[in-house]
Chain A
Amino acid sequence: MSDTVLRGWERTMSGDGVVFRHPRGTIRIRPALVPLQSFAAIMRANIPAGGDVQGPIAMVNAEGEYGAMVNAISGDEQFTLVVLFAETSYSLIIGHTADKEAHRLFVETVRRTAYGNSLGLGSDRRRPYLYERPAGWSGVRRAFSTLWIPDDAARTRASIEVFHARPARNSVTSLQYRRVYEQLPREFGEERPSEPVSAENRHGIQSQLVTFSGVVGGEPTKVTDAALADGRMLYLVRLSSRAAPHDTYFPVLQQIARSVRPLAAPKGDVDVLIDWFD
């Protein structure tokens, strides 16, 4: 069954997704694909190698979700691909035309389709964000954070946990989440924490660093929290290690905190709807 939704295009439902057909090519939307893959891997799997590649460049869509776009041209043939990332899946939008005259039309239509494409996750949720990863550290993906581990962690027990950003507005579940996942154990309550130190962030977010000390399992241990707030979301980056080497990791924590990029807010554009109606 097909109908016309996008002006001049025919829409056909296909599996979980949608195919838009135009006399000069197609655009396919495949939502919620698993497992999660990097943009580079998705690009390799969906776009023929060779040809003139433009991008990839990052994009943020109307919901504030992150993704990337790439355009690949080989002769008259063009593939335009956008990936939008959710936490555990991704949506893929891919346009294909073999008509050189239609290249610009397809790039623009794919871009606008992706911009208005809903992942349906809601912006008022814990979300990952962009920052500079610590060079040479290994990452472990957790449910609501990434744990970064240096090569010498066996001796120093060091790690930096980049928690997902969370809404600044409290709720019952957000308060429980903080207690369960973010609150430090009571061992860190016996000594007075350091005075908060304000820190600069490249993107203008307010940032404060506080160091806590305690004895955990017989080991003197330190934790430094870098807490950032942009008015809408809160960002927590936590350095933990044995007490003695703690300060040697401080520059790495500062580098991450300095680079935290505030999450984009959803846009209230109406014009994403206009092209959809005949």
Chain B
Amino acid sequence: MILHLTMPGGWTSIRAGDAVIHRKGRIGIRALPIRELPENAKFWIERSALKGAPAGTKWTQRKRAELVTRDGWPAVVVEVVLAHETFQQVRVIALYQFLTYASGAEVHSDPEDFAHEREAIYDILQGGRPDWGPQETVSLPSLLEGVVL
């Protein structure tokens, strides 16, 4: 089960473990697997925003918004700027709620590329929806698909 993002042309997508990474230039969007709701959404977002950043990274929250996807799922989106002597990066973290499940999207971008693609990135995030995964083993009737009862 994974967050599905519909990517416009110009992006490449690869499976990376249980996530999918979409890339365009110096922008990467990681679509995460669907899991249980985090106990603390604020903590989850902050931890995701700083994931992998070197020690001493300063971060500034530029935007926080509650959004509703095009299908109607609720999500929280936070945009932060990370600054460190070795790098600068814009990150957007989206946390989606799908019934009693949740998933996320992690955008990591060079600031200049982000400025050009910001609207397109938010449009992609707005289209996020659940992919509930293969259906062949979800129930006993599913296991016996095609079998005469």
Point out residues on A near B: beta carbons under 8 Å: 35-41, 55-58, 66, 68, 85, 128-133, 138-141, 146-147, 149, 153-155, 157, 159, 162, 261
**B59 proximal to A (CB < 8 A):** no
Residues 43-63 of B, flagged 1 when their CB comes within 8 A of A and 0 if not, give 000000000000000000000
Task: Say whether B148 contacts A57, CB under 8 Å.
Answer: yes
Max chain A Cβ within 10 angstroms of own Cβ: one of B133, B141, B142, B148 = B141
Do the beta carbons of B132 and A140 come within 8 Å of each other? yes
Q: Given B1, B69, B72, B136, which contacts A140 in the complex, CB threshold below 8 Å?
A: B1
Does B40 sit at the interface, judged by CB under 8 A? Answer: no
- 20 new A-B contacts, CB < 8 A, other than A55-B148, A146-B138, A154-B73, are A36-B137, A36-B143, A37-B137, A39-B146, A39-B147, A55-B147, A56-B146, A58-B147, A58-B148, A66-B140, A68-B147, A129-B140, A132-B141, A141-B138, A141-B139, A146-B139, A153-B98, A154-B71, A155-B72, A261-B149
- Report chain B residues within 8 Å CB of A129: 140
Is B66 close to A, CB under 8 A? no
Q: What's the dominant secondary structure at chain B's contact region?
A: loop
A131: contacting residue among B136, B141, B143, B147, CB under 8 A? B141
Q: Which of A35, A41, A57, A140 has the most CB of B within 10 A?
A: A140
Q: Is the CB of B72 within 8 A of A154?
A: yes
Q: List 22 A-B contacts (CB under 8 A).
A: A35-B137, A36-B137, A38-B143, A38-B144, A39-B144, A39-B147, A40-B145, A40-B146, A56-B146, A68-B144, A85-B140, A85-B143, A128-B139, A131-B141, A133-B139, A141-B137, A146-B138, A149-B132, A153-B99, A154-B69, A154-B72, A155-B72
Q: Residue on B with the closest CB to A70?
A: B147
Set of chain B residues within 8 Å of A35, measured between Cβ atoms: 137
Can you name the residue of chain A whose Cβ is closest to the Cβ of B135?
Answer: A139
Contacts of B133 in A (CB 8 A): 140
The chain B residue with its CB closest to the CB of A43 is B146
Find A37's partner among B73, B136, B138, B146 (CB 8 Å cutoff): B136
- Measured between beta carbons, the chain B residues less than 8 angstroms from A139 are 132, 135, 138-139, 142
Residue of B99, B143, B146 near A149 (CB, 8 A) is: B99
Does any Cβ of A come within 8 Å of B129's Cβ?
yes
Q: Which residues of B contact A130 (CB under 8 A)?
A: 140-141, 144, 149
Q: Report the minimal beta-carbon distance from B143 to chain A, rounded to whole angstroms.
A: 5
Q: Which of the listed residues B1, B72, B137, B145 has the most CB atoms from chain A within 10 Å of its own CB?
A: B137
Q: Which 4 pairs show the lowest CB-CB distances between chains A and B?
A: A139-B138, A154-B72, A154-B71, A138-B132
Q: How far is the CA of A154 from the CA of B132 in the complex (A)?
A: 13
Contacts of B143 in A (CB 8 A): 36-39, 85
Q: Is the CB of B147 within 8 A of A57?
A: yes
- Interface hub of A38, A58, A129 (most chain B Cβ within 10 A): A38
Give the nearest-CB partner of A155 in chain B: B72
Determine the distance from Cα of A153 to Cα of B98 in the docked complex, in whole angstroms: 9
Residue of B nearest to A128 (CB): B140
B141 → chain A closest CB, angstroms: 5
User: In whole angstroms, how far apart are the Cα atoms of A128 and B133 in the complex?
Assistant: 20
